[in-house]
Amino acid sequence: MTGVRLILKVRRSASLLAVLLAVAVIARAIGSRGFLVGDQTPVPLPWAAVLPVICAYAVASSAESPMPLAEHQAARRMAMVQLTYLFAAALVAAALIAWATAPLTGTVTMIGALRNYLGLLGLSLLGIALLGVGLGWAVPLACVGVGVIAGGLPVHPVVIDWLIRQDRDLAAAGFAASLLVAGAIAFLAPARTRQRATRTGASPEATG
């Protein structure tokens, strides 16, 4: 149990849980209000896209180890621990998103929110793998911004507007799933873990 406790502590899971709970409560309270995005062809600001991006990035940034060198040199296989932690945190966030978006009505409801969450989790993992925790948010957030604005355009491919497509759109679900897989592969790749560990060992400044 000591190992689990230490992993939870070093990943700041208490802070993560507090953030997820706060965001879910706020989202449930104000999610049904009709904020509009776009001046000429306004679309409702989809909490089903904004809430998932906050939760997804919080989960992904929490999963990034702040001690890559120590974990790389550990006797245990930390890759499996990392995967298990990511899965557990993602599951907790998914449950909270499902609760927060349960009152949503319209074309994108709880199912769409969970789909968006999984796709944005993949984008968050991809962003962190490419740019680090400090700047990795630019990838999922830019995607949300572009997707929401694309809602006002007449023609748009699934790559752009998958976030605001209706719940049962298979193309959007497939795209979200492929993003999750791509993000998980990029994030958990042994080469990246090794590179982070060696870079941290060479220069303690590089973790920020």
**Which residues of this chain interact with another protein, rule CB under 8 A?**
19, 34-40, 42, 45, 50, 53-54, 57-58, 61, 131, 133-135, 137-138, 141-142, 144-146, 148-150, 152-153, 205, 208
CB of 200 to another protein, least distance (A): 12
CB of 142 to another protein, least distance (A): 5
CB of 113 to another protein, least distance (A): 16
Kind and range of the H or E element at 43? strand 43-44
**CB nearer to another protein: pick between 57 and 85:** 57
**CB nearer to another protein: pick between 48 and 150:** 150
**CB nearer to another protein: pick between 49 and 173:** 49
Residue 52 · residue 117 · CB < 8 Å: yes
**CB nearer to another protein: pick between 156 and 177:** 156
- Write the single-letter amino acid at 120: L
> What is the rounded end-to-end Cα distance, in angstroms, of the chain?
30
CB of 77 to another protein, least distance (A): 26
Residue 128 · residue 61 · CB < 8 Å: yes
Q: How many residues does the chain have?
A: 208
Kind and range of the H or E element at 37? strand 36-37
The tokens for 75 are 């006797």
**CB nearer to another protein: pick between 47 and 175:** 47
CB of 54 to another protein, least distance (A): 6
Question: Which residues have C-beta within 8 Å of that of residue 151, sequence separation ≥ 6?
Answer: 37, 38, 43, 46, 161, 164
